Amino acid sequence: MSVLQAQRHVLFAASPKPLLLPPMACTTTSSLRRSNSEATMRLRQTSSWPSCHQSSPSSLSRRRRAQRASSTVCHGFFGSLLGGGKTKEKQEKTLEDDLGEQPEELVVVESRREDGSAAQIVYCNQGSVTAEDLELLCTKVGWPARPLHKVRIALQNSYMVSSLVLRIRKAPEGGAEAEDTQGELISESLVGLARVTSDHAFNATIWDVLIDPEYQGQGLGKALVEQIVRTLLRQDIGNITLFADAKVVDFYKRLGFTADPEGIKGMFWYPTW
C-alpha cells in the first residue's frame, strides 16, 4: 500500500497496530531541561578527515564505501577536527552512510484504521510550528511553562525546526482501485518536535526534543533525532551536540552520541537574581 506522493519516502514499515492507540507505558526520551545531572553529549564522528573539511554528502558516501575494508575511525571531541583516529577492520553502518538527497517529508509510521481512514506520522523539516504548539507539547511532557514571546523568538532564530505530525485522512473513494491515492485530510496535529541552533558551518546543537507521551514507545524519538542528524550531515555540519538529563543519556548513546568526550564538560553560567 502506498499513500505517498512521489517526493516522499517511507522510513519504517506500516505499524501493525492502529496508530491512534496509546502505546504501552514507557519512559520519556526527550527531557533536556537544565539540571545538575545534565550531561554534554556530542555525536561521534566516524570519518577519517576533519569534520570542518568534510566532502559533500555524495562524495562522502563514495569515499566511505571505498574505505570499508580498512577504515579509520576518529575518536574523542577533537578527533574529528584534528584527524586523529584508530584503524578498524570493519565498520558498522552509521547515520553518515548513504545520505542521499534531502526529502521534503518522511513517513515514519503509517497504518489503516478499521473505518478505512489512514493515519500517518510524518517527519517534516522546517515545517510551520507555532509557539503555542511547542508549549502545549512541553506541557504534555511535564516541562515548566516558558514565556510565549521568548519561545517565538527561539523558533524564529533556530537553524532548523523539525517536527513529527500526525495526519488522519478519510478513506479514498473508489475502494481498492483508489488504494494508492490519498483521501481528504481530516486532521493534523503535532506529536513531536526538536529544533537546532547552528553557526551554519561547523557546529550545531539540538534543543527541545519532545515526543507526545501518548505516542512514545514507538521509536519516534529515535527517528526524529536520526533524521535531524542526517539533515545536518547533508549540509556538511558534523560537530553536533546536545544536553541530556541522566535518565536519557543511554538513549542518546545508542544513537551515536558520547557523553563528556575526553573529559570535556559543558559549562553553565546562571544569573544570581
Q: For the chain, how big is the Rg over CA atoms in Å?
A: 20
Sign of CA dihedral 212, 213, 219, 221: positive
List the one residue out of 32, 41, 43, 39 whose CA is nearest residue 237: 43
How far apart CA 266 and CA 243 sit, in angstroms, is 8
Residue 87 has a CB neighbour count (10 Å cut-off) of 9
Distance CA 118, CA 178 (A): 13
Provide the 10 A C-beta neighbour count for residue 72. Answer: 16
Could you write out the DSSP letters of every residue in 117-179? Answer: -EEEEEEEET----HHHHHHHHHHHTPPP--HHHHHHHHHT-SEEEEEEEEEEPPPTTGGGGT
Look at the alpha carbons of 28, 32, 36, 40 in this order and tell me if their dihedral is positive or negative. Answer: positive
Largest Cα–Cα distance in the chain? Answer: 67
Find the helix or strand (DSSP H, E) in which 108 lies: strand 105-112
Spatial separation of the C-alpha atoms in residues 46 and 64, rounded to whole Å: 10
Question: Active-site positions?
Answer: 252
C-alpha grid cell for residue 225?
A: 533525532
